[in-house]
Amino acid sequence: MVESLAPLPSFAPRPGPVLLIIADGVGVAAEGPWNAVTEAATPVLDGLFESELYCQLLAHGPAVGLPSEDDMGNSEVGHNALGAGRIFAQGAKLVNQAMADGRIWQSSVWADAVNQARGATLHILGLHSDGNVHSHNDHLYQLLERAAHEGVTRARVHILLDGRDVPARSALDYIAQTEQVLEKLNEHGTADGQDIDYRIASGGGRMTITMDRYGADWAMVKRGYDCHTHGIGRAFGSATEAVEAMYAESDTGDQYLGEFVIVDDDGAPVGPMTSGDTVLLYNFRGDRAIEISQAYEDADFDAFDRGAHPNVYFAGMLQYDGDLQVPEHYLVDPPSIDRTMSEFTCHEGLHSFAISETQKYGHVTYFWNGNKSGHVNADLETYVEIPSDNVEFDTTPAMKLEEITDQTIELLRSGQYQFGRINFPNGDMVGHTGNLEATIEAMETQDACVGELIRVIDELGGVLVYTADHGNADIMYTETDGERSPKTSHTLSPVPFAIHDPAPTSGYRIDPPADAGLSNVAATLFNLLGFEPPADYRPGLIAF
């Protein structure tokens, strides 16, 4: 339940709307040729960052609910923090806690998964890296070790190559680590001395198979499903052989490598799924786990033809969508995020909108609203999704920014809305390609679009707030001994926070707490809307 908000006694809201721009992947890092944000010609953003109403915010590690200062922020936890105004234990931290205290092994879902896998096959699927954004291989290894301890004699691992949250061509290192773990388990057997057979069975790049989000490319999910389930893909004797062969064919990074299956000496796939098997998805982040979960567990699934769909017991590491209850079975309870900003704005009768293109649409709706699908109040909220193109985004650095901007201007000028939030995705999505020139172009397009929105905010007498959810475009490569290595992952950088207020005297100043992070933004937005924030929210970034 949410309570009514008290009006802010010392500040009257502006007559126009408050607009929040979340510039996905735009961090603050040292200037240099590696920094697409500072290398771009961005006079509008430069003006915002040099104004008195500017500060920087933490967007990684404990500031967004992740375990340590070494953990990069990501869009999921960033938008959770922005929309909830508080810090909740997230993804990796939740799983780490559950594994450390043993809760995960005492869960009924783990017991059911293991019981079904005994005498059948345990399949474990997930993003194969230690990037700690969608998954972590330590969790994979603990699942395998516990399964062996509890008498599961046959397991198959289906690996999704990363190259996005980790170095672009790092797959061979992770495969070598996993092969060592499997070899050790195969040598030792089960706790009661039974022989076991644990192997890698299939794989492919995360942006080629399996890990689509927001229904943008179901053909991508089908390729992954067919590969993992039916053993359809290029045949190789090992995962190492598969990756080495594809490396030799092009300079493509791991995330874009094609699907492959491991076959035995007779050419038969070593790990197709059959009825009676167990399938565990060890990703902990929701957005790119929902569709493949639906493909495995939905009896009425019709997004693509699954062929001879086996009846398997499927479970996720977490429940990836609480409203849709996907998946039905999960090993670790997700964070319970209540009392989000949207619940309060709807309670106060404020009209709001949220808009982005498909790639980030769920970030300003689902994640912003505490991992809940749908509207809080459809009578007061307008959600607009602009379809993304199914392309490598360095080929279209502007992505859909111009369309997002045009639609936002139309919504602002309608006079119907007091608050709007938009996500500009290209700093992140183009940044993930590792293409510096394209990311510079992306930032320049973004600058022009922010300039258009500022002009409309000035016209309407509103306020514009610019921030980001995590870094990415700010460090595009690293350099060692004169050799450049593209950096396609997020960064540990802080993010910008700037207010543009066209009022002659703003009546407030930037005054962030020492540990200011993304969770401090919501209280600030409530202030700009003329309200005291909820008492349990982290403090705002302005003082009156």
Q: Return the beta strands (E) in 374-440 as ranges.
A: 381-386, 419-424
Q: Report if residue 261 sits inside a domain.
A: yes
- 388 and 471 assigned to the same domain: yes
- 441 and 527 assigned to the same domain: yes
Q: Report if residue 13 sits inside a domain.
A: no
Report which secondary-structure segment, H or E, holds 278. Answer: strand 278-281
The mean per-residue pLDDT over the stretch 296-320 comes to 96
End position of a domain, from candidates 332, 347, 364: 332
**What phi and psi values does residue 328 have, to the nearest 5 degrees?**
-65, -40
- 321 and 223 assigned to the same domain: yes
Q: How far is CA 10 from CA 78, 204, 338, 508, 543, in A?
A: 30, 57, 28, 10, 10
- 68 and 126 assigned to the same domain: no
Tokens of 480: 């060692």
Domain count within the chain: 2
pLDDT, tens only, 70-87: 888 889 899 999 999 999
- 54 and 138 assigned to the same domain: no
So what's the pLDDT on residue 213?
86
Q: Report if residue 1 sits inside a domain.
A: no
Domain at 409, CATH number: 3.40.720.10
The mean per-residue pLDDT over the stretch 103-112 comes to 97
Q: Report if residue 6 sits inside a domain.
A: no
So what's the pLDDT on residue 335?
80
- 45 and 157 assigned to the same domain: no
Query: Residue 327: is the preceding peptide bond cis (ω within 30°)?
Result: yes
Q: How far is CA 367 from CA 276, 353, 363, 372, 449, in A?
A: 34, 15, 5, 7, 24
The mean per-residue pLDDT over the stretch 189-212 comes to 95
Catalytic positions, please? 75
Instruction: Tell me if 116 sits within 8 A of 151, measured CB to CB.
Output: no
Q: Report if residue 7 sits inside a domain.
A: no
- 362 and 326 assigned to the same domain: no
pLDDT, tens only, 457-506: 999 999 999 999 999 999 999 888 888 888 888 999 999 999 999 987 77
So what's the pLDDT on residue 322?
66
Q: Which long-range contacts (CB under 8 A, 24 or more apart) does 136-139 make?
A: 136/92, 136/95, 136/284, 137/174, 137/177, 137/178, 139/95, 139/99, 139/282, 139/284, 139/317
- 25 and 153 assigned to the same domain: no
So what's the pLDDT on residue 286?
85
End position of a domain, from candidates 332, 359, 374: 332
- 230 and 256 assigned to the same domain: yes
So what's the pLDDT on residue 1?
83
Residue identified by tokens 């009768």 is 349
Q: Report if residue 8 sits inside a domain.
A: no
Q: Report if residue 4 sits inside a domain.
A: no
So what's the pLDDT on residue 389?
94
- 326 and 399 assigned to the same domain: no
Domain at 169, CATH number: 3.40.1450.10
Helix, strand, coil abundance in the chain, percent, nearest 5: 35, 20, 45
pLDDT, tens only, 209-267: 999 987 889 999 999 999 999 999 999 999 999 999 999 999 999 999 999 999 999 99
Instruction: Tell me if 130 sits within 8 A of 166, measured CB to CB.
Output: yes
Instruction: Tell me if 251 sits within 8 A of 399, measured CB to CB.
Output: no
Prediction pTM value: 0.78
Residue-range definition of the domain harbouring residue 433: 18-89+336-543
Residue identified by tokens 């969790």 is 139
The C-alpha atoms of residue 92 and residue 318 are separated, in whole angstroms, by: 10
Q: Report if residue 9 sits inside a domain.
A: no
Question: 467 forms bridges with which residues in the sheet?
Answer: 22, 497
- 83 and 139 assigned to the same domain: no
- 402 and 305 assigned to the same domain: no
What does the buried/exposed string (b/e) look like for 156-186 if buried means 16 or more CB atoms within 10 Å of the residue's CB? bbbbbbbbbbbbbbbbeebbeebbebbeebe
End position of a domain, from candidates 332, 360, 387: 332
Rounded to whole angstroms, the maximal C-alpha distance in the chain is: 78
